Structure 1
Amino acid sequence: MILFFGTRPGKPETKKLFHSICPYCQQQGALTAFTVKNYFHIFWIKLFKISSHTTIECSHCKRGFYDNEFTEEMKNELSK
């Protein structure tokens, strides 16, 4: 019997941060959060989430921010 198992990413989720200000270019409403969740699967059926990774990008200056660079304003708006 052959058993296919492993990990694979789910569909990326996007969320526009309308009230947060970009710390680099000071533009409000230009930030978009991208969240990707990794799942464990057997026979390409997702069983449970292993990890989650969120990045934020400014559409004005194209600067990207990782988890450790989020401001309190960004964290508060993501948790809503």
Structure 2
Amino acid sequence: MILFFGTRRGKQSIRQLQNVTCPHCKQRGTLSIISQPNYFHLFWIPLFRVQTLQFAECSHCRRAYYKEEFSKEMREAI
């Protein structure tokens, strides 16, 4: 019997952060929070979520911030 298993990314969700300043370029209201789950699958059927990748991206300067780099203002807005 052959088993096909592994991990695969789920659907990405994007949410704008209103009134939050980008620490790099100091523009207000340009940050977006992007969340993407990673699922364990068996025969291409997602069974359970393994982890969720979450980061912020500025649409002005294109700088990305991982969860460990979030400022206090970003964490409060989430």
Q: Given the two structures, how large is their TM-score scaled by the length of structure 1?
A: 0.89
Deviation string, structure 1 residues 13-34 (Cα, Å, up to 9, x no partner): 1111112110111111100111
In structure 2, the gaps of 5 or more residues are none
Q: Give the corresponding residue for 2:59.
A: 59
Question: Aligned AA for 2:28?
Answer: Q
Q: Give the corresponding residue for 2:46.
A: 46
For residues 52 and 77 of structure 2, the distance between their equivalents in structure 1, rounded to whole angstroms, comes to 17
Number of corresponding residues: 78
Q: What is the alpha-carbon root mean square deviation over aligned residues? A: 1.0
Question: Aligned AA for 1:38?
Answer: N
Q: Give the corresponding residue for 1:37.
A: 37
Deviation of residue 10 (structure 1)? Answer: 0.4
Secondary structure (helix, strand or coil) at the match of 2:62 reads: coil
In structure 1, the gaps of 5 or more residues are none
What does 1:1-80 correspond to in 2, within 5 Å?
1-78=1-78
Secondary structure (helix, strand or coil) at the match of 2:49 reads: strand
For residues 70 and 52 of structure 2, the distance between their equivalents in structure 1, rounded to whole angstroms, comes to 15
Q: Given the two structures, how large is their TM-score scaled by the length of structure 2?
A: 0.91
Question: Aligned AA for 1:5?
Answer: F
Identity value in percent: 47
Secondary structure (helix, strand or coil) at the match of 1:53 reads: strand
